[in-house]
Chain A
Amino acid sequence: MISMREVQMDLISGEKLERMTSMEKVRLILDKVKTGKIVVLESGLTPVEEVRLIEMTMTEIRLDEFSGIEIESYPAKRESSFLDKIFGRKIKGRMTVIGPANQLRTIEKDKYQIITKVSVGD
């Protein structure tokens, strides 16, 4: 008989993300990922939020406990328009998957698809 461990995957809607501040998003993601969950964000993070997440991840790395995150999102769809540049409009994030670095592994990624593997450990 094959024994199976389960991995929880949390899919968070764009509506929920829109109501959250950047810090709330980063905290939510890290709290979930540090407990072994895989998080999928429907509308992703902005580039500035992504670096905040990486920065916060670095402060929470603990040797032998938490080695960081695997995060994958698509490159921005297109260059922002002239008016976007003038008015400094934000570039919207795209669907993003985030998980513990020791469990989530990216197999392949290009402009159109992200293929990952989740390891469930012993």
Chain B
Amino acid sequence: MGFFESFKTGFGAWIRRIFKKKRAKIGLYGPPNAGKTTLANRIVQDWSGGGAMGTVSSIPHETRRAMRREGIMINANESSIELDIVDTPGMATKIDFKEFMAHGLSEPEAKKRAREATEGVIEAIKWLDDLDGVLLIMDATEDPYTQVNVTVIGNMEARGLPLLIVANKTDLPESSASRIKSAFPQHAMVSISALEGTNIDELYRAIAFYFG
């Protein structure tokens, strides 16, 4: 990237932050099974009353196509923000069909799912070029230092776009949101249970603050 292009990108991000807009296209990113679709469904149901965005499963890579829902109006902090939510497939650096067979899928089903999952990861990466910000969903029961987390955070920092970390699954006893906070202290974080709705209002306030 040349100096002029670098300046343009950096300056553009800076200007966007000063003149905050009230509509934003937000991507839900994270490793497989972090709860991205569960959160997307909750946001949609809380604010648009529409049907679920996608199906949820304990088998990884259930979401293999990015799904977008437009015009979700969130009211928080005495202001409104209109969101386009993009629920992306789980990011991964490896996909082994045998892992799906261990979850009970037949070999043909597992191979089909693996092929579709690789396409889903590529689709998630392509969406990074077309977003105003990212909600990075992390499973608070897992080690936060995964390469997917490091890579998504690095990309948002490099692009100068806002990022909000969501420590999910706090309903589980082994969860530790503080472990995530100490891993990435430079970024804002909200801990929630997307499944039970715990602390979800705090997340909506943070969305309005950081993306509005």
Q: Hey, which bits of chain A sit against chain B, CB under 8 A?
A: 46-48, 50-51, 54-55, 57-59, 61, 63, 67-76, 78-80, 84-91, 101-102, 109-111
Query: Beta-carbon contacts of B1-14 to A below 8 Å, as 1s and 0s?
Result: 10101111111011
Residues on the B chain within 8 Å of A89, using CB: 6, 10
Between-chain CB contacts (< 8 Å), 20 pairs: A46-B154, A47-B155, A48-B155, A50-B147, A51-B125, A55-B121, A61-B118, A67-B95, A67-B96, A68-B94, A69-B93, A75-B154, A76-B153, A78-B186, A79-B157, A86-B11, A87-B3, A88-B7, A91-B154, A111-B183
Which residues of chain B from 118 to 155 have a CB within 8 Å of any chain A CB?
118-119, 121-122, 125, 128, 143, 145, 147, 150-151, 153-155
- Interchain CA distance A55-B7 in the complex, whole Å: 27
Contact indicator B157/A47 (Cβ below 8 Å): yes
Known: A55-B125, A69-B93, A75-B184. A50 touches B151 (CB 8 A): yes
Residues on the B chain within 8 Å of A50, using CB: 147, 151, 154-155
Which residues of chain B from 6 to 24 have a CB within 8 Å of any chain A CB?
6-11, 13-14
- Interchain CA distance A78-B184 in the complex, whole Å: 10
Chain B interface category by residue count: 35 or more
Residues on the A chain within 8 Å of B8, using CB: 88
- Interchain CA distance A101-B92 in the complex, whole Å: 11
Shortest A66–chain B CB gap in Å is 9
Q: Which of B96, B115, B151 has the most CB of A within 10 A?
A: B151
Contact indicator B122/A91 (Cβ below 8 Å): no
- Interchain CA distance A46-B158 in the complex, whole Å: 9
Smallest CB-CB separation from A98: which chain B residue? B93
Residues on the A chain within 8 Å of B154, using CB: 46-47, 50, 75-76, 91
Known: A55-B125, A76-B153. A110 touches B145 (CB 8 A): yes
Smallest CB-CB separation from A89: which chain B residue? B6
